[in-house]
Amino acid sequence: MARPDILNPLFAAVSTVKGVGPQLSKLMASFFGAPENQDAVLLDVLMHMPSGIIDRRQQPGVQFAQPGAISTFLLHIDRHIPPPRNNKRVPYRIEAHDESGEIVISYFAGRASWLEKTLPVGDKKYVSGLVTFYHGIPQLNHPDYIVDEDKFDDLPLVEPVYPLTSGLTSKKLQLATQHALSKLPDVPEWIGHSRLDLNGWPSFKTAMHQTHDPQTPAEAKIEGAARARMAYDEYFAGQLTLQLVRATMTRESGVQRLLTGKSTQKVREALPFKLTGGQEAAVTDIENDLRSNRKMARLVQGDVGSGKTVVALMAMAAMAEAGHQSALMAPTEILATQHYSTIAEIGEKAGLQVALLTGKMPAGERRAIQARIESGEIDIVVGTHALFQSSVVFKSLGLTVVDEQHRFGVHQRLALSEKGRKTELLVMTATPIPRTLVLTHFGDMDVSLLKEKPAGRQPIDTAILSSNEYERVIARLKAKVAEGAQAFWVCPLVEESENLNLVSAEDRHKALSQVFGDRVGLVHGRMKADEKQEVMERFQRNELSILVATTVIEVGVDVPNATIMIIEHAERFGLSQLHQLRGRVGRGDKRSACLLLHGDKLTEMAQARLKTIRATEDGFEIAERDLELRGQGDLLGTRQSGMPGFRIAIPDYHKDLLEIAHDDAVDLLERNPGLQGAEGEAARTLLYLFRKDLAIPLIRAG
């Protein structure tokens, strides 16, 4: 179905707005995150939400002006006092008055010709800006608005304030926004009347007008009705998309797999430990999915070191019993290789054929493995996204396991499931995700939680120290390395930055090499994959005592002998990142330690993060706290706060709406799976408005 005609005006390029040239248009495309090589459109401008409001309704009269207040005055312009020549430190001053008193309007480096034309002596003008005082006299420095006495209506008394970027002024953005508002059509209503009435929500068009062109501050409040309605719309569009993806993946009835229990029993016997209660429950969930006639789409969510790989291996063993192959896809070569070594060792004891397939393999070796996959000789293939390629043909792919799903989008989820017509999907993530984010990323999946750590894992001692204690840290590290310990040392940067006073990984590697010689390795994201791999393998073989790294080691690197994690400038990392990094140690049976080194000036938020990490190892608790901390005071930073791509919804204010939107999306598709009739047309319009049109072809016909 093509985009509804009424929406076409909103998909006009921003360059159609008078005053927006090619350069500004390009800047806006990048700032608003327009799809690659595409222009920003008017809809992008409307979806760019204000971060606050300026209220210019106060007209106190000069005598009653308050310092620090935004105020508007009707002023009589008395005289201009240009600064002395060659003295740029003195501002250009304009004296003015109203009936109650006198005020000075001042401009630093002001152009006399422009000022004389804008504020001619003897004229009356409305002037609005921030009031300050200098020697007891009220001042307006660089006022925001100057309008003629008879043009008062041109002055925005309630003015939205937007996040901007270098080169994009608020005047230009306001211009584009007003133009976009004028093109906004009346769209069909996709929210049920009872839901609208219950919440007192306006229509979509009214909500947009109240947000971008408010008549009172209350209309544009982040927690107000207009913004809440649009946050719900954004959530609803996302949830509808995920439900359509789910319907596509589970629509073709799955295959009722015949599980004998032989291979899974052999895996149990080959394991050096007993499965935890959480692992047993997850395995039962998976086996029930496989036995049912519905395709599996399950997320196994477990904290660092909770044993997700073993759960995946049990699932793949069950699939082998049923006579089908499995593929496990990891985001990096390092991780794929690591999964392979874990799985191959146990899998082969259980009589399973396991192979590794990555992009860096020699062509001959690749071809040989591909031939064995195609013939069905291989039961389990482990690899990177190289498994996607059309040259990889499975004899009978029954199960796809994806590690760290948040690195892969909905598109890849569909591409993977198409490799095998009846493929089951199992996703693993080591990032404990709060319920709100589970719905956001994985609303289309069933969830199994792994909360316990395998038996024998020791707690990790976490300490917070100032960077000034560097010498003390080195002395302790020397003693530990002499006893045979291995340590990670993580830095936030690869190389020195002029703007930030931080030690880079390269600098730290040099400094530590002077103390520990050639027992220090370095890995960072700019190295080639095989270079990184080589260093990691040397560390795993204990040829290196210390590995200096950036966050490339955040996910999944397993070195049981490494018992020390030092994170430099820990205040620069997010909570979840710190938790993931700490999880690289404590993977054996030895007691481990994590040292958080911080710079001098810690913000309150940074202190709160470090204290949270010291206080708990519960990843789920940390994830909830992370969402709270990053949400507060960072209302513009919704893109950074772990919420994927939300432009309107702000988790702090709108998280309750996500569950409602999820339930409404499920209800709608159960009631009207083909999105037929007026209700369906409205829902399709919503999907186009929120750029979820990739879901449109998934709508079931009839």
Encode 510-529: b = buried (16+ Cβ within 10 Å), e = exposed: ebbbeebeebbbbbbeebee
- Coil, helix or strand at residue 453: coil
The residue type found at 299 is L
Burial grade of 236 (CB within 10 A; 0-12, 13-18, 19 or more): buried
Summarize pLDDT for 298-335 with one digit per residue, the tens. Answer: 889 887 667 888 999 999 999 999 999 999 988 778 78
Q: What is the pLDDT of residue 417?
A: 55
281-288 long-range contacts, CB within 8 A, separation 24+: 281/448, 282/311, 282/448, 282/449, 282/450, 283/311, 283/314, 283/315, 285/446, 285/448, 286/311, 286/314, 286/315, 286/318, 286/426, 286/448, 287/259, 287/318
């309704």: which residue's tokens? 57
Domain spans of the chain? 5-54+162-221, 57-155, 253-450, 460-616
C-beta of residue 632 within 8 angstroms of C-beta of residue 655: no
Going by pLDDT thresholds of 50, 70 and 90, the confidence category of residue 556 is low
Most confidently modeled of 326-340, 404-418, 624-638, 644-658?
A: 326-340
Q: What is the pLDDT of residue 627?
A: 65
Asked which of 205-214, 521-530, 548-557, 594-603 is least confident by mean pLDDT, the reply is 548-557
Does residue 197 or residue 36 have the better pLDDT? 197
User: What superfamily in CATH does domain 460-616 come from?
Assistant: P-loop containing nucleotide triphosphate hydrolases (3.40.50.300)
Q: What is the pLDDT of residue 355?
A: 96
| pLDDT, mean over the chain | 85
Which of left, alpha, beta for 536 (phi over 0: left; psi -120 to 50: alpha)?
Answer: alpha
- How far is it, in rounded angstroms, from Cα 572 to Cα 575? 10
The C-alpha angle with vertex 440 and arms to 173 and 338, in degrees rounded to 5, equals: 115
Q: What is the pLDDT of residue 487?
A: 94
Q: What is the pLDDT of residue 497?
A: 56
Summarize pLDDT for 463-474 with one digit per residue, the tens. Answer: 999 888 999 999
Summarize pLDDT for 158-172 with one digit per residue, the tens. Answer: 999 998 888 898 889
Q: What is the pLDDT of residue 99?
A: 94
C-beta of residue 245 within 8 angstroms of C-beta of residue 418: no
């595409």: which residue's tokens? 38
Residue among 580, 666, 646 at smallest CA distance from 302? 580
Q: Residue 214 pLDDT > 90, yes or no? A: yes
- Which CATH number describes the domain made up of 253-450? 3.40.50.300
- How far is it, in rounded angstroms, from Cα 267 to Cα 473? 43
Q: Is the pTM of this model over 0.75?
A: no
φ/ψ of 72, rounded to 5, equals -125, 135
Tell me what percent of the residues of the chain surpass a pLDDT of 70.
88
Q: What is the pLDDT of residue 619?
A: 75
Summarize pLDDT for 95-149 with one digit per residue, the tens. Answer: 999 999 999 999 998 889 999 999 999 999 999 999 999 988 999 999 999 999 9
Tell me what percent of the residues of the chain surpass a pLDDT of 90.
49
Going by pLDDT thresholds of 50, 70 and 90, the confidence category of residue 403 is confident
- Which CATH number describes the domain made up of 57-155? 2.40.50.140
Equal CATH topology for 253-450 and 460-616: yes
Q: Residue 634 pLDDT > 50, yes or no? A: no
Q: What is the pLDDT of residue 636?
A: 23
Asked which of 272-276, 288-292, 436-440, 501-505 is least confident by mean pLDDT, the reply is 436-440
Q: What is the pLDDT of residue 631?
A: 45
